């Protein structure tokens, strides 16, 4: 069940449980994971090849996969729209938690 979002979070520690409640659908989480992995791969490739123009695809990969997960599977509005900084941090903390097996992916 989705937690009710307070009008304001005082810390990321307060925000993260809400963020996770907005990512209960396994397919949505998997799409986030794929998008984040592709971002890391694109960053590495861009650094190795010095093809800096490819960095324009970072937001497309990150937001494209995540937003598809929210709109088509989770059926909610991404937290990015209301909490952009905490949401970006939440993406990477959730990615780490999925890598470590703390969250099913």
Q: What DSSP string runs through 15-78?
A: HHHHHHHT--SHHHHHHHHHHHHHHHHHHHHHHHHT-GGGGGGHHHHHHHHHHHHIIIII-S--
Structure tokens at 34: 């794929």
Q: Give domain status of residue 5, yes or no.
A: no
Which pLDDT score is estimated for 84? 93
Q: Give domain status of residue 20, yes or no.
A: no
Q: Give domain status of residue 38, yes or no.
A: yes
Mean pLDDT on 72-95? 95
Mean pLDDT on 14-30? 96
Which pLDDT score is estimated for 7? 67
**Domain count within the chain:** 1
Q: Give domain status of residue 10, yes or no.
A: no
Q: Give domain status of residue 47, yes or no.
A: yes
Tally of CA atoms within 13 A in the half-sphere of 99 that contains its CB:
10
- Per the structure, the complete domain to which residue 47 belongs is given by 25-99
Question: Is it the case that residue 4 has pLDDT exceeding 70?
Answer: no
pLDDT-based confidence at residue 8 (cuts at 50, 70, 90): confident
Q: What is the mean pLDDT of the chain?
A: 93
């Amino acid at each position: 069940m989705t937690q009710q979002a307070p009008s304001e979070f005082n810390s990321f520690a307060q925000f993260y449980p809400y963020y996770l409640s907005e990512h209960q659908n396994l397919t949505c989480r998997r799409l986030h994971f794929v998008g984040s992995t592709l971002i890391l791969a694109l960053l590495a490739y861009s650094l190795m090849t010095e093809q800096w123009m490819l960095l324009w695809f970072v937001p497309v990969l990150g937001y494209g996969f995540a937003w598809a997960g929210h709109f088509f599977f989770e059926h909610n509005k991404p937290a990015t729209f209301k909490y952009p900084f905490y949401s970006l941090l939440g993406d990477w903390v959730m990615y780490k938690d999925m890598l470590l097996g703390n969250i099913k992916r």
